[in-house]
Amino acid sequence: MSILDVRGLEAGYGEGPVIKGISFALGRGEFISVLGPNGSGKSTLLKAILRLIPRIEGSVAVEGREASRLGPRLMARSIAYVPQFPDASFAFTVEEVVLMGRYAHLGRFGRVSAVESRFLDEIMDLARIGHLRAKPLGRLSGGERQRVHIARALAQDAPLLLLDEPSTHLDVAYQLEVYRILRLLRREKGTAILCAEHNINLAVLFSDRLLFLKEGRLAAQGPPRRLVTRKLIRDVFGAEVDVRRNARTSLPEVSLIPPDEDAPCK
C-alpha cells in the first residue's frame, strides 16, 4: 500500500486553481522531489496535501485514509511538515521547539515519558542539534535553525515527511547536511519523503523519483537517471543548460552554460 495517494488534486487560494489535475503515489520509505520553476505550484502542492489552503478538490489518501476525514491530530501523526521559511517568535529554546512536535501524541496535558525522552534525544542527535538544546532559536545560524525545524517535524514520528525547499538560503555544506539527515532518516526509520526543491542536482542525487511541475500541472515524473534531459529542462524551465553524466555517480547533472549576450530577450 502506498503511504500517500494523490488523485486529481486541484487547489488554490480563491482566484482560480494554482495546481490542477495532479496524480501520483508515494510508497513507504520512498523519496520524491518536486521540481519546477518559481510559481509552478510546488509549495501549493505540499500545502494542499496538508489541507492548509482553503480551496481543495480531488482526493488525498494518507495510509489508505481520506485526508479530509482525518482530524488535525490524526493528520499530524501521519504527515510532518517543514515549511519554507520556518519561524518562531519569542525566545523558545531548541528543546522546547522540538518538543512542540509531540503535540499530536501528547495532547494538551500529556507529559514526556522516559521512552519519549530517549526518542527526542535520538532525534536531536540525528539532526546534530543535541549540543544546542538549551539555546534560544533566535541565537542559531540559518542552517542550525533549519535542522531544529526538521527535528521538530521528526518528533511527530509520522511515516511521511513533507519539506518545502529545505536547502534555500543554506550554503553548500548545510545543504548536504540537511540531505544527509533526510537519507539517514529514510534508511533508519523508513520515512517516506516528499520534498519541494529548486536545486535540480541535489534532487537528482538523493531522490528515487522526481516530479516536475509546470504552471500547476504535472509535466513529467520518473526516476532521475532517465528523466532529466536537456530537453526536459528546456520544456519545463525554459532554460538552456547542459546535462552531462556525473563521472562519479553516472547520474545526470545540470551544468550552466553562459547565456548568449546577443540573444533577444524573451
Partner 1 sequence: MTARKRRTILLAGLIVLGLVGFLTSLLIGPVPTGLSDLWRLVSKGDRDLAVIVVDLRLSRALLAFFVGAGLALAGAILQGFFQNPLADPFVLGVSSGSSFGAVLAIQLGLGVSFAAFSAQSLFAFVSGLLVVSFIYLLSRRRGVLKVETLLLTGIALGALASALTSFLLFLRTDSFEQAVFWLLGSFALAEWNQVGVVAPYVLASLLVAQWLARDMNLLSLGDETARSLGCPVDRVRGGFLVLATILAASAVSVSGIIGFVGLIVPHWVRIWIGPDHRHLFPFSALTGGVCLIFCDLASRSLLPATELPIGIITAAAGAPFFVYLLHRRS
Binding flag, residue 168, partner 1 (CB under 8 A): no
The footprint of partner 1 on residues 6-45 (CB under 8 A) is none
- Nearer to partner 1 by C-beta: 79 or 210? 79
Q: Identify the bridge partners of residue 220 per DSSP, sorted by sequence position.
A: 212
Q: Identify the bridge partners of residue 164 per DSSP, sorted by sequence position.
A: 196
Binding flag, residue 47, partner 1 (CB under 8 A): yes
End-to-end CA distance of the chain: 46
Give the whole-angstrom CA distance, residue 209 versus residue 194. Answer: 10
Q: Which stretch binds partner 1 (CB under 8 A): 11-19, 89-97, 218-226, 229-237?
A: 89-97
Q: How far is the CB of 104 from partner 1 (least distance, A)?
A: 4
Q: How far is the CB of 148 from partner 1 (least distance, A)?
A: 11
Binding mask 222-241 for partner 1 (x = CB under 8 A): --------------------
Q: Pick from 96, 116, 157, 208: which binds partner 1 (CB under 8 A)?
A: 96
Q: Which stretch binds partner 1 (CB under 8 A): 12-20, 47-55, 227-235, 258-266?
A: 47-55
Name residue, grid cell 520509505: 29
Name the 3-class secondary structure at 83. coil
Give the whole-angstrom CA distance, residue 264 versus residue 11. Answer: 36
Binding flag, residue 52, partner 1 (CB under 8 A): yes
Binding flag, residue 184, partner 1 (CB under 8 A): no
Binding flag, residue 148, partner 1 (CB under 8 A): no
- Nearer to partner 1 by C-beta: 90 or 250? 90
Cell of 206: 538523493
Residues in CB range of 247: below 8 A, 6 or more apart: none
Q: What is the DSSP letter of 93?
A: B
Q: Pick from 33, 44, 146, 156: which binds partner 1 (CB under 8 A)?
A: 156
Binding flag, residue 93, partner 1 (CB under 8 A): yes
Name residue, grid cell 523508513: 190
How many C-beta neighbours within 10 Å does residue 216 have?
A: 21
Give the whole-angstrom CA distance, residue 110 versus residue 15. Answer: 41
- Nearer to partner 1 by C-beta: 88 or 241? 88
Give the whole-angstrom CA distance, residue 144 versus residue 94. Answer: 10
| Residue (of 203, 212, 187, 193) closest to 251 by Cα position | 203
Q: How far is the CB of 87 from partner 1 (least distance, A)?
A: 6
The residues binding partner 1 (CB under 8 A) are 47, 50, 52, 72-73, 75-77, 79-81, 83, 86-93, 96-97, 100-101, 103-104, 106, 108-109, 152, 156
